[in-house]
Chain A
Amino acid sequence: MRTEGLYALSSWSDMAYLLAPRVFLVFGLLILPLVLDMYWQRVLCAAGIYALLAIGFDFLAEYVGLVCLGGALFVGTGGYISGLLNVSLGLPPLLCIPIAAVSGALISTIVLIPCLRLRGIYFAIVSFMFPLFAVFIIIALGVFGSTEGISALDLLPNRWFEQYIILALVLASVFSVRRLVNEDFGIILRGIKDNDQAVRSSGINITMYKVKAVFVAALIGCLGGAYLSHLYGWLGLSLFAMDFSILPIAATVMGGMGTLVGPVIGAFILTPMSEALRGFGQLRVVVYCLILIGFMVYKPEGLMNYLERKYHQFERWEKV
């Protein structure tokens, strides 16, 4: 028996119906490393990083109402901290990555705090500017390897580890953020997005909640950045590249804003495509943006919502 939002499980076929897409997704992701060759396995890892960023973006945009135009800030901060910990303190990557994720998230959140009291537009502007500022400042002060970057970071144990850890992180993020938005914390965030004055009049300090939400998104993003620096064993200004800001947005719009799973799918579609276009220079950015705008204008619901609708209606599909 199916109604919107509530399910009464009355048979195995019902359970299968519900679980099938999820199992399909998880299984499909986990199988990929086994069927791809080495080059595409690296691409898979990159896709995972973009997927993490996309989850963070979707969470902030649809559940809190904050448009983050600067995912690169998280990647750069996480990556730099992890690399620096590795190089200067000699800590192994498996230790650096979690520490960098948490500390990077703390730092990113703190610099974003000043604009959280203000309207959403300020957050968009400031988040856009910060990755660019980070680059300016690193060059100006000549620190952290400046324009050349720092190489010879420790790498991750082996290829299989590389891939499965990122896939595990992606799946863990999707499922935990999904859980979070249905817990009280998530409900309050959605309340803030719908009507923040009413939330204030109910005794909640909305700035604190926004800070926590940004921290969650930053954590996920910094995790990706820290992972990235140990994937290639190198950190440099390219960790703050505009790619990390824009591809997750395109992936989210394409995949379906608000679904949290859609952005992951979007990332896994756009990243290989971007690889294929690598030879054409900046064309790939132009392409992401065209796709983004195309979806916003013609199919704003995104792929995931579209597929979900069709899936729920499959009994009524007719052969034309």
Chain B
Amino acid sequence: MDRRAQALLEVRDISKAFGGVQAVNDVSFALHKGKIVGVIGPNGSGKTTIVNLITGFVRADSGEVFFQGKRTTGLPPHKIANIGITRTFQNMRPYHSLAAYKNLIVPLNSPRVRKTAGGKLGDNNSVAIDILEEIGFERDARVPYKTAGALPLGYLKRLELGRCIALRPEIIICDEIFSGLSMSEITTMIPLLEKLQMEGVTIMMIEHRLRELFRLVDSVIVMHFGRKIAEGLPEEVMRKDEVKRAYLGTERKR
């Protein structure tokens, strides 16, 4: 069977330049349903730009993106979200003036949720609180009711995830969701992501915390200066020379 036909999300020869800088250069890869894929690479290698390209925040100069075989290149962000592709933001900003659970009211009102829920399935407020509870906002301690602007980082990262989950997505793209978290906080997030995978959600993770990432992912894509330089199982990829050179540089010639 043709592997390409099975891919949930396919990125083909996508490129984007900002002024003189070629941020993404002819990148292609595919995401298969139910997998967790990591995207790694030094800073500036174009990882966040890829996310912006896939989710419609940035227009590609050339190349295409396909979701379930249908073209999504050029669609605006809200339409892409309604198809089922969600993302978190690297410099995340919650709706700081609203309570945490009210942050989820926004995605719960999207056409996607309205359609799949067949009208409102119960009060949006309680749905929001339930989702937050599932991802670790302790209801007894009234955490979901706290103003989002006052929450500590660990909760904010999970709130970002909660925003995606509320949309009942097919794909969640996490942009450096582990950054700034302590080891124990990451250890509590990993089961959450694994649970999502078991429920059929495909996850793509941009990360710098490699050790934690490799415990989670099925395969890894390495980017450098806008190009994809390697793809495959974590251990294989990290042994490749190009990858080592990208991260560590070359040996000084004596």
Contacts and interface: CB of A to CB of B under 8 A. Distances in A.
Direct A–B touching, Cβ under 8 Å: yes
Interface of A: 6, 184, 187-188, 190-191, 194-195, 197-206
B95 A200 contact: no
B124 A200 contact: no
B107 to A, nearest CB: 4
Interface in B109-153: 109-113, 124, 145
A200 B111 CA distance: 12
Interface of B: 55, 57, 76-78, 81-82, 86-87, 89, 93-98, 102-103, 105-113, 124, 145, 163, 166-167
Given A188-B109, A203-B81, A197 B95 contact: no
Contact of A190 (B97, B107, B113): B97
B82 A203 contact: yes
Given A184-B124, A188-B105, A198-B163, A203 B93 contact: no
A202 B96 contact: no
Contacts of A6: 145
Contacts of A194: 93-98
Nearest to A4: B147
B78 A203 contact: yes
Nearest to A203: B110
A286 to B, nearest CB: 34
Contacts of B107: 202-204
Given A198-B93, A198-B163, A202-B110, A191 B81 contact: no
B186 to A, nearest CB: 23
Interface of A (DSSP majority class):
helix
Of the listed residues A191, A198, A203, A206, the one surrounded by the most CB atoms of chain B closer than 10 A to its CB is: A203
A3 to B, nearest CB: 10
A255 B167 CA distance: 39
Given A190-B95, A195-B95, A201 B110 contact: no
A184 B109 contact: yes
A190 B108 CA distance: 15
Nearest to B57: A197
Nearest to A202: B107
A187 B110 CA distance: 13
Contact of B95 (A191, A203, A204, A206): A191
B160 to A, nearest CB: 9
B97 A200 contact: no
Nearest to B85: A201
B98 A191 contact: yes
A195 B78 contact: no
18 contacts: A184-B124, A188-B106, A188-B109, A190-B97, A191-B95, A191-B98, A191-B105, A194-B94, A194-B96, A194-B98, A198-B89, A198-B93, A199-B106, A200-B78, A201-B86, A202-B163, A203-B113, A204-B110
Nearest to B89: A198
A187 B163 contact: no
Nearest to B110: A203
Contacts of A198: 89, 93-95, 106, 163
A204 B96 contact: no
Counting from the closest, the 7 A-B pairs by CB-CB distance are A203-B110, A203-B81, A202-B107, A200-B77, A194-B95, A203-B82, A195-B93
B106 A202 contact: yes
B106 A191 contact: yes
